[in-house]
Structure 1
Amino acid sequence: MSVSEYALTDAIARIVVDQFAGLQALVSTLVALLVGSVQAVAFWVAALLPLTYLPLLATDVAAEHPLGFVALLGANGVAFVVGHAHNRGEHAHA
């Protein structure tokens, strides 16, 4: 290979590395947005789902469908675990 071929190969390699770094940053940003969205939805599901317990218990739906009620409790537990980090640190001093 001549010197000009090495320079061309080096230039192409730099372009590829730069493009890869840009793609890596884009994927990282998209993952952060997705994680934040999932945490936000899980937080609000965990906060609002217990409001359904009293009507279900008062109308005996929970007694008629105990497995469904236990699944609802389990879903609430999963939502608490997934959503616990939502907005953490944003209002840490309050």
Structure 2
Amino acid sequence: MSSPSTLVDEQHTKVPLADGAAAGRRLIAAPLRFVGFWAAVVMPFLYLPLLTKGLTPSETPVFVGLLLLHVVALVAGHGYNR
């Protein structure tokens, strides 16, 4: 009996550029989803010091910036663990 060949044809081992780009996006997307998800979970705790003492006019841009950053984190982490 002969054993199956272990040689791999080079034509089948090459990855087309489009597949390589998709793999690169998936490789980068997973850590971004992770960070986005956990940032969205933790960020409400950053609001507490601002909201407990009341917002002054100088702190309002900081609060709005935190809200915008929270929205970005929610969008980035939306697909985490799916």
Q: What TM-score results when the alignment is normalised by the length of structure 2?
A: 0.68
1:13-72 Cα deviation digits (max 9, x unpaired): xx67853x2665444333212011111101111110001111122244x42320111011
CA RMSD across the alignment: 2.7
> Between Structure 1 and Structure 2, which shows a larger proportion of helix residues?
1
1:29 aligns with 2:23: yes
The runs of 5 or more residues in structure 1 that have no matched partner are 1-14, 89-94
Q: What TM-score results when the alignment is normalised by the length of structure 1?
A: 0.61
Q: Residue type of the partner of 1:78?
A: V
Q: Calculate percent identity across the aligned residue pairs.
A: 32
Which of 52, 69, 72 is the matching residue for 1:58?
Answer: 52
* Higher radius of gyration, 1 or 2: 1
Aligned residues: 73
Q: Tell me the distance in 2 between the aligned counterparts of 1:24 and 1:81.
A: 25
Per the alignment, residue 11 of structure 1 pairs with none
